[in-house]
Amino acid sequence: MENQILHSKIYEKPETTPMLIFHGLFGMLDNWGTLGKKFAEDREVHLIDLRNHGRSFHSDIMDYTSMSDDIVNYCNHYQLQKVILLGHSLGGKAVMECSIKHPSLVDKLIVVDMAPKAYPPHHQAVIKALQSVDFSRINDRKEVEEALSAYIQEPGIIQFLMKNVYRTDKEHFDFRFNLKSLTDNYTQLINKPISFGIYKGPALFIAGENSNYILKQDEFYIRQQFPKEKLEVIPKASHWVQADNPVAFYDAVNHFLNV
């Protein structure tokens, strides 16, 4: 089971360096649809669902080692030799781990609003909201929204989570992500830094101006493991950098890929 291949949407462009894009916690590849198409104008792009997310396989195991192995298995399956890895948030931790453990696979690394460090747990309200949804009693999507809004005030986060709601049949709904595995493994995922090691290739770290995920003092620790790192702060952007300021985000990534 652990050798299953991650689900993806591929924009093929032979003779280019493939770009693999990974979403964050509770996300899915659809979150990157618009930017994915834009990047695909110049290169092959793979939008990928992490394990326990989207249409990828479910597993009780959810850690950085397994997510790194998933990326390697994916590349082997599609016979990709050298790739650009881009990951946002949890996806950022996954691509950092992979670049440290399998540097020869990675041409360039892009990490969006995430440092290689441990973070304090901070998704408790979201987890509580998701666990409060009783799909055995829910008849339409509006009821899911109402259940989530009892715990979450931000409409943007509610809509982000609602993208995961789908019909299992004519009468029932569910979340696409594996809520049990994500909540069971949440604390050790958040509380754990990536493995120690060094990736010597080019690495772009992108931070949101209004986000506190990458602090000024974090750059010292980032440089210890990613000595060729470049930090770019995107103005008018929170943790969802690519959604808040997609033009500046695209320009920063494109410049890094073309230098």
Taken in order 74, 79, 81, 84, the sign of the CA dihedral is negative
- The DSSP secondary-structure symbol of 124 reads H
84 Cβ neighbours under 8 A, 6+ residues apart: 17, 18, 19, 20, 43, 106, 107, 108, 109, 110, 257
* Residue 7 bears catalytic tag: no
Q: Which among 78, 109, 76 is positioned nearest to 92, based on CA atoms?
A: 109
Annotated active-site residue in 8, 68, 89, 211? 89
57-62 long-range contacts, CB within 8 A, separation 24+: 57/1, 57/4, 57/6, 57/7, 58/178, 58/181, 59/1, 59/2, 59/178, 59/181, 60/181, 60/184, 61/2, 61/181, 61/185, 62/181, 62/182, 62/184, 62/185, 62/189
> Identity (one letter) of the amino acid at 167?
R
Annotated active-site residue in 7, 46, 53, 239? 239
* Residue 53 bears catalytic tag: no
Residues serving a catalytic function are 89, 239
